[in-house]
Amino acid sequence: MPEFPKPQTVRSQRVIAEIRQAAEVCEYCQHRRPDEVHHIRSKGSGGADIRENLIALCGEHHRDAQEHRISPLDLFRITAVREGIPLTQVYQAVGLVLPNEAIEEAPPAPVTEMDQDENSWETDVSVFIQYQQERDDSGWKLAEHATRMRKKYGPNTASKLAAEVNLSAAYLRKLMDAANAFPEEKRDLGLQISHHIEAAQSDRPEYWLQQAAENNWSVREIRQAKKDVNDQRSEDEDLQVQMERLEQQVRKFNEKWETKRNIKAALAFEDAGFRIVKEAV
Ligand SMILES: [Zn+2]
């Protein structure tokens, strides 16, 4: 397996100290004394010690941020205002893709397909982790991003990515299959992504999704229905094989009798011949 370089993150105690000293109150609530300088994109996922990524928070809001009760987007908005730069530029500086909700509310510089293509492996992985952490999301963003990554990095992507994001390669492949089988216009918004994943694991994804919608099936019921059809199919195939075997036996049997009939006819002809010769003599 190829080795990927670790992200090069900027470490600077000086910048952290700058942020700490400049803040008289928590930058989130503008109220309590700041307690900690927080990395909005965590150090563990490659977040750098740069001004755009750092925010001084009180104890309570630092905990909230660490436990994802405050979204990174809300915190990046604050640093963008503090630094006097657009939100897109903040996201660029920290190496993350601007989330869709931010694009919808203010489209100053939309993230194009081209920009996404220029992302490094590390950036793509951290975007994936970011989507993973957005708990209210349906999972489609994750699936689509994983599929884009497979197109970009090749068929080994699932196992390489699995090693980084705490999901199994098998599950990642299923996510990719679901995104492939169900582009946005083919999805059923009344069903969950897990229904789509189960339906995609078949040779008729759309059929199974439709069945699930019509019959109000759970994921387990889709699986059971697929299994029933498969069982029926292999039963039919077994019968087919048995039929062919029987037909072959019948054919051989007929051929044998054909031969016997021919021999009998030949003998009878011989007899008749003898009789004619005898009578002539
Ligand atoms: Zn606060």
- Give 44-101 pLDDT, tens digit per residue: 888 999 999 999 999 999 999 999 899 999 999 889 888 888 888 999 999 998 888 7
Kindly give the distance from the C-alpha atom of residue 22 to the centroid of ligand 1, in angstroms, as a whole number.
15
The pLDDT, as a whole number, for residue 121 is 85
DSSP code, position 187: -
Tokens of 132: 């993973």
Kindly give the distance from the C-alpha atom of residue 124 to the centroid of ligand 1, in angstroms, as a whole number.
31
Q: Which residues of the chain have pLDDT under 50?
A: 1-2, 4-7, 106-115, 136
DSSP code, position 190: T
Kindly give the distance from the C-alpha atom of residue 11 to the centroid of ligand 1, in angstroms, as a whole number.
25
Kindly give the distance from the C-alpha atom of residue 56 to the centroid of ligand 1, in angstroms, as a whole number.
9
By C-alpha distance, which of 165, 169, 205, 163 is closest to 187? Answer: 205
Longest dimension (CA), the chain: 141
Kindly give the distance from the C-alpha atom of residue 21 to the centroid of ligand 1, in angstroms, as a whole number.
16
Kindly give the distance from the C-alpha atom of residue 19 to the centroid of ligand 1, in angstroms, as a whole number.
15
Kindly give the distance from the C-alpha atom of residue 84 to the centroid of ligand 1, in angstroms, as a whole number.
21
The pLDDT, as a whole number, for residue 61 is 94
- State the Cα–Cα distance between residues 102 and 88, nearest whole angstrom: 9
Per-residue DSSP letters for 31-91? SSPP-EEEESS-GGGT--SSGGGEEEE-HHHHHHHHTTSS-HHHHHHHHHHHHTS-HHHHH
Kindly give the distance from the C-alpha atom of residue 17 to the centroid of ligand 1, in angstroms, as a whole number.
18
Kindly give the distance from the C-alpha atom of residue 63 to the centroid of ligand 1, in angstroms, as a whole number.
10
Kindly give the distance from the C-alpha atom of residue 60 to the centroid of ligand 1, in angstroms, as a whole number.
6
The pLDDT, as a whole number, for residue 104 is 59
> Which residues make Cβ contacts (< 8 Å) with residue 74, sequence separation at least 6?
28
- State the Cα–Cα distance between residues 202 and 184, nearest whole angstrom: 19
Kindly give the distance from the C-alpha atom of residue 53 to the centroid of ligand 1, in angstroms, as a whole number.
17
Strands, E assignment, the chain: 36-39, 54-57
Kindly give the distance from the C-alpha atom of residue 10 to the centroid of ligand 1, in angstroms, as a whole number.
26
The pLDDT, as a whole number, for residue 15 is 94
Q: Is residue 1 within 8 Å of residue 158, measured between CB atoms?
A: no
Kindly give the distance from the C-alpha atom of residue 146 to the centroid of ligand 1, in angstroms, as a whole number.
35
The pLDDT, as a whole number, for residue 52 is 95
